[in-house]
């Protein structure tokens, strides 16, 4: 009986210490951000910033600064929606890995074996060497680094039309160097993954991702389909000079079209953090083993790229950055501290997110 009471007391003390440590860390973040972000906004031409910070299963803090619409003085809030550019690719990788988990595709078999609507054309390079693994890690030798997006007045092409060259990038997606020999960033590769998911599931890419990734992770205010989000909640985009710019639209949403809030994207950060049992929080949609495999640095990347995230060995973290006209974003999960954060910015002003990233890292490293 006494032993049971002693154990309960010890557990209570451990829990209390853990809670106190998290509260202290939350206050540290608040102190630094509330002091520095207004100064950063003042000296730059950035309009608004949303930040969310998580530790394990818990939210340490959500922070909003500046304006979603500067002309109307509409403030950024935790419900403000942003386009996050290339961070879309990391989320897409989770969708692809679900198909791996289900046995519908193998990482190291030719991806053309699974594509139905379109196939990677042979050239002087062998298309059979292009696999899901090397597409996700940008080592497939594919062309087309990124997309500029379409205006609201322009009709969007189909996925196949985009892959064949009707896009706002640099033409058709094709093999431009020998697969599995070097790293070469390809947004076009992720458009192939988008088509793969649709071909194998007979669902729209957006529906599949919502049902299998977003909702299971609690990301209820996010979508790959811009028509499903509330325009009133979407921030206005601003260019590098602080001027309002037009929204751009994408067929290639897997590469560049994800819309989300800071709080929702932080839930995605939690997927590669650990719960109290030592399991990945995202293990409700992928096995621990497959998550561990997915986040490992891949060959021919210099140890810098996994099958999804950028691997930062110096800061022991996984992350990614996004850029579209009028939007910049950054996500980082510091795995040895079990802390993650996102920085969303409704402007193309360079350097702002990196400056905030360093502020947050300095607080984390002080823990």
Task: Return the residue matching tokens 């060995």.
Answer: 313
φ and ψ at residue 225, rounded to 5 degrees: -115, 110
Domain membership of residue 94 (yes or no) is yes
Domain membership of residue 282 (yes or no) is yes
CATH assignment at residue 119: 3.40.710.10
**What pTM does this model have?**
0.93
What are the 10-residue block averages of pLDDT along the chain, 367 residues in total? Answer: 52 48 83 97 96 98 98 97 99 99 99 99 96 99 97 97 96 97 98 99 99 99 97 97 96 99 98 97 98 98 97 97 98 98 97 97 88
Domain membership of residue 21 (yes or no) is no
Q: Identify the burial level of 352 via C-beta atoms within 10 angstroms of its C-beta, where 0-12 means exposed, 13-18 middle and 19 or more buried.
A: buried
pLDDT of residue 366: 84
pLDDT of residue 24: 76
State whether the Cα torsion 274-262-197-212 is positive or negative. Answer: positive
User: How are strands ordered across the β-sheet holding 48-55?
Assistant: 74-75, 58-69, 48-55, 339-345, 327-334, 317-324, 310-312
Domain membership of residue 53 (yes or no) is yes
Domain membership of residue 9 (yes or no) is no
249, 225 in Cβ contact below 8 A? no
Q: Which domain holds residue 51?
A: 30-365
Q: Which of 335, 63, 81 is nearest to 232 (CA)?
A: 81
The greatest distance separating any two alpha carbons of the chain, rounded to the nearest whole angstrom, comes to 77
Domain membership of residue 1 (yes or no) is no
pLDDT of residue 1: 56
184, 142 in Cβ contact below 8 A? yes
State the total domains in the chain: 1
pLDDT of residue 4: 59
**What is the separation of C-alpha 367 from the centre of its chain, rounded to a whole number of angstroms?**
25
Domain membership of residue 20 (yes or no) is no
Half-sphere CA count of 179, side-chain side, radius 13 A: 26
pLDDT of residue 19: 52
Domain membership of residue 13 (yes or no) is no
3-state secondary structure of 266: helix
State whether the Cα torsion 148-149-150-156 is positive or negative. Answer: positive
φ and ψ at residue 64, rounded to 5 degrees: -130, 135
CA-to-CA separations, 232 to 76, 82, 151, 235, 324, in angstroms, rounded: 12, 12, 19, 8, 20
CA-to-CA separations, 61 to 130, 339, 342, in angstroms, rounded: 42, 11, 11
DSSP state of 60: E
State whether the Cα torsion 236-169-119-157 is positive or negative. Answer: positive
pLDDT of residue 17: 45
Print burial letters for 11-20: b (CB count within 10 Å at least 16), e (below 16): eeeeeeeeee
DSSP state of 211: I
């Amino acid at each position: 009986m006494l032993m049971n009471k002693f154990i309960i007391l010890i557990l209570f003390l451990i829990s209390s210490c853990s809670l106190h440590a998290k509260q202290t860390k939350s206050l540290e973040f608040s102190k630094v951000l509330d002091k520095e972000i207004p100064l950063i906004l003042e000296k730059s031409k950035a309009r608004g910033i949303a930040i969310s910070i998580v530790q394990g299963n818990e939210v340490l803090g959500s922070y909003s600064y500046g304006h979603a619409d500067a002309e109307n003085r509409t403030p950024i809030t935790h419900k403000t929606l942003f386009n996050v550019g290339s961070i879309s690719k990391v989320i897409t990788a989770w969708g692809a890995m679900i198909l791996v988990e289900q046995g519908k595709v193998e990482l190291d078999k030719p991806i053309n074996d699974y594509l139905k609507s379109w196939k990677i054309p042979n050239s002087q390079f062998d298309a059979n060497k292009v696999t899901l693994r090397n597409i996700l890690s940008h080592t497939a030798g594919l062309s087309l680094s990124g997309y500029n997006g379409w205006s609201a007045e322009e009709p969007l092409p189909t996925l196949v039309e985009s892959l064949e060259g009707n896009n706002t990038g640099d033409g058709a997606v094709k093999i431009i160097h020998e697969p599995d020999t070097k790293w070469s960033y390809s947004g076009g590769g992720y458009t192939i993954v988008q088509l793969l998911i649709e071909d194998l599931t007979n669902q729209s890419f957006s529906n599949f991702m919502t049902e299998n990734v977003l909702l299971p992770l609690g990301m209820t205010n996010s979508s790959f389909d811009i028509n499903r989000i509330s325009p009133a909640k979407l921030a206005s985009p601003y260019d590098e000079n602080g001027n309002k710019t037009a929204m751009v639209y994408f067929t290639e949403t897997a590469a560049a079209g994800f819309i989300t809030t800071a709080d929702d994207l932080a839930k995605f950060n939690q997927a590669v953090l650990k719960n109290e049992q030592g399991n990945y929080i995202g293990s409700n949609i992928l096995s621990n083993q497959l998550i561990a495999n997915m986040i490992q640095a891949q060959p021919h990347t210099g140890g810098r790229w996994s099958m999804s995230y950028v691997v930062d060995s110096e800061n022991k973290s996984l992350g990614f950055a996004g850029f579209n006209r009028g939007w910049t974003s950054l996500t980082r999960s510091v795995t040895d501290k079990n802390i993650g954060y996102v920085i969303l910015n409704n402007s193309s002003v360079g350097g702002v997110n990196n400056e905030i990233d360093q502020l947050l890292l300095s607080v984390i490293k002080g823990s």
